[in-house]
Amino acid sequence: MLQAKNRISITQDIIPWFDEIMSAYAIDWVELSPKTLVAANALPNLDHKDPVDRILIATARRLDLKILTSDAQIIGYGQRGFVETLEW
């Protein structure tokens, strides 16, 4: 979607590019569990409507991870102590 919206520029096929990024930055996969999906619907004091962002937040909370984001709502949620964030 970011490429389709011209927010990032990719000059090769998306799958090889994705594999390259995952390898270059030693990014690991995290399994999406049903409990995380349920938790995404019940995040305390969050009025964020984007379901993918809610899933990211729930996953970060479950695994005690930081979210690197420029999303003002997620940053504000982190500032209120509900999830750790790094502003980008």
pLDDT at position 18 over 80: yes
Residue 38 lies in a domain: yes
Mean pLDDT of 5-15: 82
Model confidence band, residue 1 (pLDDT cutoffs 50, 70, 90): low
Residue 23 lies in a domain: no
| Tens-digit pLDDT profile for residues 22-63 | 999 998 888 899 999 999 999 999 999 999 999 999 999 999
Place of tokens 């930081």: 66
Residue 5 lies in a domain: no
Residue 2 lies in a domain: no
Proportion of the chain in helix, strand, coil states, percent, rounded to 5:
45, 10, 45
Distance (Å) of CA 80 to CA 8, 46, 51, 73: 30, 10, 20, 11
Count up the domains in the chain and report the number: 1
Which structural domain range is residue 36 located in? 28-87
What is the residue-averaged pLDDT of the chain?
92
**Among residues of the chain, what percentage have pLDDT more than 70?**
99
Residue 35 lies in a domain: yes
Residue 8 lies in a domain: no
pTM: 0.76
Residue 18 lies in a domain: no
